Amino acid sequence: MRYYLSQNVFDAALDRIRWLFDEFPNVVTAFSGGKDSTVVMQLALIVAREKNRLPLRVMFIDQEAEWQSVVEYARRVRDLPGVDFRWYQMPLQLFNSASSDTEWLQCWQPGAEWMRPKESGAITENVYGTTRFKDLFTAIINTEHADEPCALLGGVRCEESPSRNAGLTTAATYKHVTWGKAFDKKAHHYNFSPLYDWSYTDVWKAIHANGWAYCPIYDHQYQYGVPLQNMRVSNLHHETATNSLYYLQEVERETFEALARRLPGVHTIGQMKNDAFTVPKELPFMFESWQEYRDHLCTHFVVHEKSRNAFQHRFAKMDIKYARFPNKERMYRAQIKAMMANDWEGALIDNWEANPWVHGWVKWTKGREHERNAQNPYIIRTMSLEAACK
């Protein structure tokens, strides 16, 4: 249930950040170049000026395979008055969805031909005990603030997915606050999302109403006709961002050429366009079921044994969990799409399971085995929602 307050989201976010500055001696903002992190940083700058807490520390973990527009925007942010910009360009590894042969991009690997030179003054040595991007934020805070409480501010919003909505509204993680996550409670290290109740329209309203600079790649994507929900400024070969490879060559030709030299599979996807990760609309005639098609691809299409084992293990668990799911074709199609993107870590499947009609069905079935039948009104309604989502 949602409760609407008289206070608008802009003022509410400012009050949340003011409270965090009062609670924590160290406040850091995570920056990606995207619209959400832009707004968080600008709001934190307002509060830091009010409370005489400048400079504001801003953390940017450069994934090498970035839009050039993001790099140029990051340089502008680095030069803002009152900003202590930490630009991390150090060895780390990122999953590569562009190829089933080369699973990783070893970013900033010593001796490799990087996409571009490193920035002057960047932090280039990885002393944080991990090379995985998703773990670096926690590791950096734990290392650089080992004996001090610290709050890391990010731009995660409930609107982005049901799982994020549940995670940011369900249980308190720090005092009365639900819109956060504990990195290390003993060290008082937390991650907070002060924009958790914002819509993307609120984000763009704040940017334009205040005249804040933002990454111009959004303008290129809008002109190119990219749907709002697909506009991303993340690394270019991430499993949820590979659509950007379809038009990267037209928007930033030099970036495309540098990435194609750096990472196998990029040029192929750029030529295939929208067919690169398309699951067939109809079941191929040589297979009797989508499950058989999925299993065939898992055996013959997935190159690496480690990836194949990961897929098979996940699929086996899902076959049991969703044995009575009303429309298992959608599940098989999601699994096939994950294999085509070589997403053996399961991000795309996690997104499918987070859909409201899937999550709701799982929630309903727990503890109610005896009531599960095709005539149940919830299942009938779920199937109607499923049909509407096609």
DSSP H stretches of helix in the chain: 9-23, 35-50, 68-78, 133-144, 162-169, 200-210, 217-224, 248-251, 253-262, 266-272, 290-300, 305-321, 328-340, 347-353, 356-365, 377-389
150, exposed or middle or buried, with CB in 10 Å at 0-12, 13-18, 19+?
buried
User: Phi and psi of 126, rounded to 5°?
Assistant: -90, 105
Residue range 9-201, CATH number: 3.40.50.620
User: Phi and psi of 153, rounded to 5°?
Assistant: -100, 130
Average pLDDT over the chain, rounded to whole?
86
What's the pLDDT tens digit per position in 79-116? Answer: 999 999 999 999 998 877 666 666 778 899 999 999 99
| 3-state SS class at 84 | strand
Q: What is the dihedral of CA 163, 169, 170, 174, to 10 degrees?
A: 120
What's the pLDDT tens digit per position in 175-211? Answer: 999 999 999 999 999 999 999 999 999 999 999 999 9
Domain boundaries, the chain: 9-201, 290-389
In order, the DSSP letters of 194-239 are: TTTT--HHHHHHHHHHHT----THHHHHHHHT--GGG---S-TTST
Q: How large a percentage of the chain has pLDDT more than 70?
A: 87
pLDDT at residue 318 in the model? 94
Question: Is a pLDDT exceeding 90 seen at residue 278?
Answer: no
Q: How far apart are CA 277 and CA 76, in angstroms?
A: 35
Q: Are the beta carbons of 93 and 131 closer than 8 angstroms?
A: yes
Q: Residue 192: enclosing H or E segment and its boundaries?
A: strand 189-192
In order, the DSSP letters of 308-361 are: HHHHHHHHHHHHHHTTT-TTHHHHHHHHHHHHHTT-TT-HHHHHHHTSHHHHHH
